[in-house]
């Protein structure tokens, strides 16, 4: 078959999927893997990608579609080898519309300072104002691309930032369509479930409670061992004056958790008062562009107090449990004293400069020859 006919054939196959989605058809796991594979292989135009994503969003994406799409993405990713045992990722799916400061990126520095290896998977802003890669660039952190170098950083420094476009080059085919739409699509969920270091432990925030169980289902099916999928509740603090949700544990209200631990599934909630932290509205951690968010993160690592710090401490405490560095639960419920203890551990490395030292070491690090990156 002539090479020129391959894209045309892909477009025809995609058209069948698009027509089906427009009539409300739900794809099977295999069909979803096939249709997202066509997108990731560059066989589909931008407008048609956007049309499919919107059709799926309007009719409601389904769990088996998520599993299929994640399989397609993992099959095409550039993996980071030899990550240390117990490596964790902390990330949010985005798409909640709140535009907060970068919480999980800040948590990464805290965890690394406490000796937890973190393979922080992130992207540039697509449905937010400042993605992880944007704020790291503003901080002067070199975004390395060589998998072996990143694996060495995980082992030596306990921290590696994995830029999604570098490890998922197939995603570039959907980037323009996602940015043009500017809303949460299934891709928001796919990326955090395809960490290039193949982590088996994750604290992952989602913007809608309806996706908590499907995300943990997907990760369990794909071999994860310890997962907390969290969704924060915002009583009366949404921009339109109504209650909302957010893809972080926040000070604004309870966080709901769907957990996988030791092969067991369970759910529970936690509140800021369990950690001895004062409540604060989500507006207290409102962010902006990369420069503004980077300045806030650096101030945090220099000892700045306030709701941003407290939010980072609360999320770091949860991540420490997921990493196996503390035990927050008894009978599948939060033990407040244990939560306060882990919050205190996280605060210690902010106060003694250890987390700042991790940032400075990361800034100063250079890539190995062949990576094409310098500090």
**Where residue 14 falls among pLDDT bands split at 50, 70, 90?**
very high
Whether 70 and 179 share a structural domain: no
Residue 145's pLDDT is 87
Annotation: binding site for Mg(2+): 104, 247-248
Domain end among 75, 98, 129: 75
Q: Are residues 237 and 157 in the same domain?
A: yes
pLDDT of residue 122: 77
Binding residues: 92, 95-96, 100, 102-105, 120-128, 132, 178, 247-248
- Tell me which of 14, 47, 75 is where a domain ends: 75
Same domain, 35 and 143: no
Do residues 85 and 119 lie in contact, with contact meaning Cβ atoms separated by under 8 Å? Answer: no
Please state whether beta strands 118-122 and 329-330 pair in parallel, antiparallel, or not at all (unpaired).
unpaired
Average pLDDT over residues 251-267: 96
Do 105 and 68 share a structural domain? no
Give tens-digit pLDDT for 132-175.
Answer: 888 999 999 988 989 999 999 999 999 999 988 889 999 899 98
For residue 184, being part of any structural domain is answered with: yes
CATH of the domain at 324: 3.40.1030.10
In Å, how far are 77, 80, 193, 370 from 83, measured between CA atoms? 15, 7, 16, 20
Annotated binding-site residues for anthranilate read 92, 123, 178
Residue at 374 is within a domain: no
Whether 352 and 203 map to the same domain: the answer is: yes
**Is 242 a residue whose pLDDT tops 70?**
no
CATH of the domain at 52: 1.20.970.10
* 298-355 confidence digits (pLDDT tens): 999 999 999 999 999 999 999 999 999 999 999 999 999 999 999 999 999 999 999 9
Domain count, the chain: 2
Residue at a domain's end among 45, 75, 105: 75
Query: Residues 319, 357: one domain?
Result: yes
For 133, other C-beta atoms within 10 Å of its C-beta total: 22
Do 340 and 194 lie in one domain? The reply is yes
8 Å CB contact between 70 and 190: yes
The four Cα atoms 32, 38, 41, 42 give a dihedral, to 10 degrees, of -130
Average model confidence (pLDDT) for the chain? 90
Write down the pLDDT at residue 367.
45
pLDDT by residue (tens digit) across 80-132? 999 999 999 999 887 666 778 999 999 999 999 999 999 999 777 554 567 78
Which residue do the tokens 């952190």 mark? 141
- Same domain for 192 and 49? no
* 67 burial type by CB count under 10 A (0-12 exposed, 13-18 middle, 19+ buried): buried
222 and 317 both lie in a single domain: yes
158 and 281 in a single domain? The answer is yes
Q: Tell me, yes or no, whether 71 and 180 share the same domain.
A: no
pLDDT band at 29 (very low <50, low <70, confident <90, very high): very high
The binding site for 5-phospho-alpha-D-ribose 1-diphosphate comprises 92, 95-96, 100, 102-105, 120-128, 132
| 24: alpha, beta or left? (left if phi > 0; alpha if psi -120 to 50) | left
- 42 pLDDT higher than 70: yes
Token pair 């090479």: residue: 3
% of the chain at pLDDT higher than 90: 77
Q: What is the pLDDT of residue 12?
A: 87
Domain of 251 in residue numbering reads as: 88-168+175-363
- Decide if 368 is inside a domain: no
Query: Rounded to a whole number, what is the largest CA-CA distance in the chain?
Result: 67
Looking at the fold, whether 150 and 46 belong to one and the same domain comes out as no
- Between CA 50 and CA 181 the distance in angstroms is 7
User: What band does 1 get if pLDDT is binned at 50, 70 and 90?
Assistant: very low
Half-sphere exposure of 170 (CA within 13 A, CB side): 22
Q: Give the C-alpha separation, 7 to 103, whole Å.
A: 41
Identify the pLDDT of residue 128.
54
Across the strands, what pairs with 261? Answer: 226, 264
Using 50, 70 and 90 to split pLDDT, how confident is the model at 23? very high
């Amino acid at each position: 078959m002539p090479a020129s006919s391959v894209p045309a054939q892909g477009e025809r196959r995609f058209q069948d999927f698009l027509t089906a989605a427009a009539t409300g058809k739900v794809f099977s796991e295999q069909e979803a893997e096939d249709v997202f594979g066509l997108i990731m292989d560059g066989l589909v135009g931008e407008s048609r990608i956007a049309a499919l994503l919107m059709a799926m969003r309007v009719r409601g994406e389904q769990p088996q579609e998520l599993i299929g799409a994640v399989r397609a993405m993992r099959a095409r990713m550039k993996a980071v080898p030899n990550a240390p045992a117990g490596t964790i990722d902390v990330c949010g799916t985005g798409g909640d519309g709140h535009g907060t400061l970068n919480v999980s990126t800040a948590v990464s520095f805290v965890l690394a300072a406490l000796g937890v290896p973190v393979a922080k998977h992130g992207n540039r802003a697509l449905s937010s104002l400042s993605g992880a890669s944007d704020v790291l660039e503003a901080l002067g952190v070199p975004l390395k691309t060589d998998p072996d170098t990143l694996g060495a950083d995980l082992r030596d420094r306990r921290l590696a930032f994995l830029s999604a476009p570098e490890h998922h080059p197939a995603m570039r085919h959907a980037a323009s369509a996602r940015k043009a739409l500017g809303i949460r699509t299934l891709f928001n969920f796919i990326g955090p479930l395809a960490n290039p270091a193949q982590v088996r432990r994750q604290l992952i925030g989602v913007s809608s409670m309806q996706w908590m169980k499907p995300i943990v289902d997907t990760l369990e099916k794909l071999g994860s061992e310890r997962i907390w999928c969290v969704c924060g509740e915002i009583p009366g603090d949404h921009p339109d004056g109504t209650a909302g949700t957010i893809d972080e544990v926040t000070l604004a209200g309870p966080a709901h958790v769907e957990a996988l631990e030791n092969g067991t599934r369970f759910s529970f909630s936690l509140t800021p008062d369990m950690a001895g932290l004062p409540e604060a509205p989500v507006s207290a951690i409102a962010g902006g562009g990369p420069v503004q968010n980077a300045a806030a993160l650096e101030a945090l690592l220099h000892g700045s107090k306030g709701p941003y710090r407290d939010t980072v401490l609360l999320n770091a405490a949860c991540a420490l449990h997921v990493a196996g560095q503390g035990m927050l639960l008894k009978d599948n419920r939060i033990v407040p004293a244990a939560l306060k203890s882990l919050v205190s551990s996280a605060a210690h490395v902010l106060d003694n400069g250890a987390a700042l030292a991790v940032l400075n070491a990361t800034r100063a690090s250079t890539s190995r020859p062949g990576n094409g990156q310098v500090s």
